[in-house]
Homo-oligomer: A and B are copies of this chain.
Amino acid sequence: MTAKPRFELFAYWRTSATYRVRVALALKGITAAERIINIDAGEHRQDAFLAINPLGAIPALIDHETDALPLTQSLAILEYLDEIHPEPPLLPPDPIGRARVRSLSLMLAADTHPLIVPRVKKYLTTTGGFDDPQWRDWQTRWFTTGLQAFEKRLSSDPGTGIYCHGDAIGMADICLASLIVVMRVFGIAVDGIPTIERIMRACEAHTAFSNAEPRRQVGAPPD
């Protein structure tokens, strides 16, 4: 008998995409061994991790019950977890509902988050000549654009309930919360998002979300 867990998650305390996987695992009651890759120290570019994922990207999830390469891209990992471990579902049962939840998820995970990741910061603050206030304006602009568009959609669409889609937590809530928690890490605030704030409070009442909070992870700096 081995104590080796089925799942191994390569993670870092403050990344939005890692947070999504952490919440999804917790919602489904799946335990994963978490391996810390300190991206602030460049560990994602070192040989030890490149042997796991040659692209140097986290999160990466290994399912030891398969011989597959590590899974990457948070939304692909969430879909995978939902397929192999359907309860509780991250997507509604009907195709239209699934399209709505995937669309909401992509508005944030695809149209918003990639604009404020470390490699973009590095480019803009070196080659791009941005100083700190300009970088902050950039971050604020895309958090604001993304979240206000998301708010507009939630508040005008009868599909919205206690959570982003009806009254059950799902993938869109995870993506929303993943953006809000990193926005807090950066100390950025966005006005005019009351529906988002209401849904965020509902999410944070669940330990799956509150336990995934970046500041509560191993490797987070003290407040």
Contacts and interface: CB of A to CB of B under 8 A. Distances in A.
Contacts of A105: 76
B96 A66 contact: yes
B84 A95 contact: yes
A100 B79 CA distance: 11
Question: Which of A55, A76, A80 counts the most B-chain CB atoms under 10 A from its CB?
Answer: A76
A99 B76 contact: yes
Interface string A90-117: 0000011011101101110111101100
Contacts of A95: 80, 83-84
Interface string A53-71: 0110000000100101101
Interface residues of A, number: 51
A110 B16 CA distance: 14
A176 to B, nearest CB: 15
B73 A110 contact: yes
A26 B214 CA distance: 44
Q: How many copies does the complex hold?
A: 2
Nearest to A119: B145
Contact of A98 (B55, B69, B80): B80
Contact of A54 (B115, B124, B153): B153
A124 B103 CA distance: 26
B75 A106 contact: yes
Contacts of A76: 99-100, 102-103, 105-106
A72 interface: yes
Contacts of A69: 100, 157, 159
Closest 3 CB pairs of A and B: A76-B102, A110-B110, A73-B103
